[in-house]
Structure 1
Amino acid sequence: MFDAFLVVLPVFGVIGLGYVARLARYVTDRMGDGLSEYVNDIAIPFLIFQTLSSARIPEAQPWGYWLSYFAGVAVVWSLAMWIAGRFFSYGHLPRVVAGFAAGQANTVLVGIPLILKAFGKAGEVPLFLLIAIHLPITMTAATVLAEGGQVRPMAILSRLARHPILIAMALGAAARLVHLPVAEMGPVKSVLDMVAASAVPCALLSMGIAMRRYGLQAGIALPSIVTALKIVLHPLIVYVLAAKLFAIDPVWAGVATLFAACPCGINAYLFAHKYKEAADFAATAIALSTAASVVTVTLWIWYLAPSG
């Protein structure tokens, strides 16, 4: 258990550093926004391109891996929407926000640093293969639900096609397919290495600043329920399906489980802010689930024992 805690400690320690720095007014929200923008638009895309352009991808599509994860997403998303409407009288759009918060993991700011710390290089391919479809599926589902099916498919595709992370994935996959070792070319490799290395610490600092900014603005009843769905039920479903039903490789099952155990993604807040509905709920769910995930993630790493 202590070894598992040592894996988690640096990750959440840097998040805590960002939180304390903002609490002490040593940094501003503007700095956090800038860091987050840098991470999402530059650092993480560089890291993904570097990995995918030289990765050895399995020839057979890992359907059991993907199905294990997204079956869990469907369950917790549906439950969150039902609970928000049935017991909290949320309207249509706030229910969509609740479902999105329960089903969409904080992959960039928490998931990538945490999983790479826990599994090292062995976790890179399964991690980025899941990220490759995680954002398109969850964003598309949330948008279609919010628009009541009226949104045009081309509008969704246009938004996704401009996303820096998806562009990096496409370029990395293309470089690998044509056997172009861009990531291994002298100065290019040095640039990629330096920028990619900055992704993890910058993402964690940004998350800490954001947690202080959002706080607990909407009470804790529904955010607590959504937190439980996200960091307790979701990883449990994924683990049972991946490790027991589909019996996939232990590292891949572990990556999927930790991915599911990540707290509510910041996209839920951005989505709510865009539609001007339940932004306070989304912010509270993000803060609460991030704090609580320190315990649940430690327990999962201890149970999965990737280093053992």
Structure 2
Amino acid sequence: MSQLIAIVLPTFGLIALGFIAAHLKLLGDRAGDGLSDYVFLIAVPALIFRTLVGGGPIGDNPWGYWVAYFAGVAVVWTLGMLFATRLFGRDRREAAIHGFASGQSNTVLVGVPLILQAYGDAGATPLFLLLAIHLPIMMSTAALLIEAASSEGRKLKIATGLARTIVTHPIILALAAGVAAKSAGVQPTGAALSIVDQLAATASPCALVAMGVALKRYGMLSDRLPVLAISGLKLVLHPFLVWVLAVHILPVPPVWAGVAVLFAAMPCGINAYLVAARYKVGERTASAAVAVSTALSVVTVSGWLWVLGLV
């Protein structure tokens, strides 16, 4: 129990702190947006760069690791879309948002702090390699599905803008810079190292407080049945599928398998809401799914930590 508290309490305690601060109006929406921007644009890229440059070899990425995670994504995404159209009467555009929310993990704001708390430096390389490929695959798939179901005439413009966003995303650029520096044997020293270290140290606490502010902002009471279905797919079925594949079927090293399972066990990522807002479809459901799944993940993530033998 003490190990569970040591892993879960720092993560969800800071989320609760952000939520309470927002509820008491100590932090407003602008402050939450500013914190989120800082985390995405500066702190997490610094953390990724520092970890890749200072860590062990980065070429060891077993194929089973990728297959296990994204096979789970494919299943829950498909089910999320089927539930949306067959059970909840939504159109194909909104169904794509439901599927995206069912498979898109909250990696930066919750996943990075929690997984590093659980596995330490040993989990950093598989975490950040999956983090980098997760973003372009998930966002590109969501955009293609929504565009395929859309009759609007702006498809090429939107697709071009999305592609530009993906290839210039700071997380992907940080990964590329870290890989390049590691391959060239270049490491920051002196003042440069101190700056990177200090920025990296702020990533986890700022991300978690920002998530708490976002939870207060988006609310949890909208579109209850679809939101509960999405949350169940994301928090239970997705990590279960990854656990079966990575731990019991495919050749995945134990730490990498554990990182994949915890990555899958994260609540719905805020990108689900951002994509919904971009296309003006399913915004209410996506925002509520982010809030509800994050609240429920306090219990479900604790369960997965126990399954993985970390508590």
The answer, yes or no, to whether TM exceeds 0.5 is yes
1:197 has 2:224 as partner: no
CA distance in 1, matches of 2:223, 2:91: 17
Counterpart residue identity of residue 114, structure 2: L
- Establish whether residue 170 from structure 1 lines up as the match of residue 190 from structure 2: no
C-alpha RMSD of matched pairs (Å): 1.5
Rounded Cα–Cα distance in structure 2 between residues aligned with 1:284 and 1:155: 26
Match of 2:152 in 1: none
CA–CA distance in structure 1, aligned partners of residues 55 and 156 of structure 2: 36
Letter in structure 1 aligned against 2:26 = Y
Shift of residue 157 of structure 1?
3.4
Normalised to the residue count of structure 1, the TM-score between the two structures is 0.95
Separation (CA, whole Å) in 1 of partners of 2:227 and 2:244:
25
In structure 2, which of residues 265, 271, 283 is the aligned counterpart of residue 267 of structure 1? 271
Cα distance in 1 between the residues matched to 2:272 and 2:234: 12
Say if 2:18 is the partner of 1:21: no
8 A Cα contact 1:107 1:259, kept in partner: yes
Query: Partner of 2:33 in structure 1?
Result: 33
Residue in structure 2 matched with residue 71 of structure 1 by the alignment: 71
From 213, 217, 220, the equivalent of 1:216 is 220
TM-score computed with the length of structure 2 as normaliser: 0.94
Equivalent residues of 1:273, 1:279 under 8 A apart: yes
Aligned equivalents of 1:157, 1:283: Cα separation in 2: 24
Which whole-Å deviations, capped at 9, do the CAs of 1:90-122 have from their partners, x for residues lacking one? Answer: 112111110110011000000000000111111
Residue-by-residue CA offset, 1:259-286 (whole Å, 9 max, x unaligned) = 0000000000000011111111001100
Q: Which moved more, 1:46-55 or 1:150-159?
A: 150-159
| Residue identity in the other structure for 1:267 | N
Aligned counterpart for 2:250 among listed residues 246, 251, 261: 246
Residues 77, 103 of structure 1: 8 Å contact kept: yes
CA displacement, residues 193-243 of structure 1 (integer Å, 9 cap, x when unaligned): 100000000000000000000002423111001000001000000011001
* Residue equivalent to 1:301: 305
1:286 corresponds, among 281, 287, 290, to 290
The residue type paired with residue 103 of structure 2 is G
Cα 1:151–1:52 shift into 2, 3 Å: farther
User: 1:57: Cα distance to partner?
Assistant: 2.9
1:234 aligns with 2:232: no
Is 1:180 the counterpart of 2:186? The answer is yes
Pairs aligned (count): 305
Aligned 1:140-155 pairs, distance under 5 A: 140-148=140-148, 151=156, 155=161
Matches of 1:112 and 1:62, distance apart in 2? 20
Deviations 1:33-52 (A, max 9, x none): 00000000010011111111
Matched, 1:276 2:280: yes
Aligned partners of 1:217 and 1:280 also within 8 Å: no
Alignment gaps of 5+ in structure 2: 150-154
Aligned mates of 1:112, 1:135 — CA distance in 2: 14
